[in-house]
A = this chain, B = another copy of it.
Amino acid sequence: MAEYPPFAVTVDLVVLTVRSDELNVLLVRRGVEPYRGRWALPGGFVHVDEDLPAAAVRELTEETGLAEPAGHLEQLGTYGRPDRDPRGRVVTVAWLALLPDLDRPVAGTDAASAEWLPVAALRPGQLAFDHDRILADGVERARAKLEYTSLAAAFCPPEFTVAQLRTVYETVWGTRLDPRNFHRKVTGTPGFVEPVGRSTEGERGRPAQLFRRGPAELLHPPMLRPTADRP
Residues of A within 8 A of B (CB): 1, 4-9, 45-52, 75, 77-82, 87-89, 91, 93, 148, 190-191, 220-222, 224, 227, 230-231
Residues in chain B near residue A148, CB distance under 8 A:
148
Question: CA–CA, A45 to B7, complex, Å?
Answer: 11
CA–CA, A48 and B221, complex, Å: 46
Indicate if the CB atoms of B220 and A9 lie closer than 8 Å: no
Q: In the bound complex, what is the Cα–Cα distance between A80 and B8 (angstroms)? A: 13
Task: State the copy count for this chain.
Answer: 2
Q: Specify which of B5, B49, B220 is in contact with A45 (CB 8 Å cutoff).
A: B5
Judging by beta carbons under 8 Å apart, are B75 and A52 in contact?
A: no
**CB-defined contacts of A230 to chain B, threshold 8 Å:** 190-191, 220
A195 CB to nearest chain B CB (Å): 18
Which of B49, B77, B190, B227 contacts A75, CB < 8 Å? Answer: B77
Closest Cβ of chain B to A47, distance in Å, is 7
The CB with the most chain B CB atoms within 10 A, among A75, A78, A82, A227, is that of A78
A82 to B51, CA, bound (A): 6
* A91 in complex: contacting residue of B49, B52, B75, B227, CB < 8 Å: B52
Contacts of A221 in B (CB 8 A): 221, 224
Cβ of A45 and Cβ of B80 under 8 Å apart?
no
| B80 with A48: CB separation less than 8 A | no
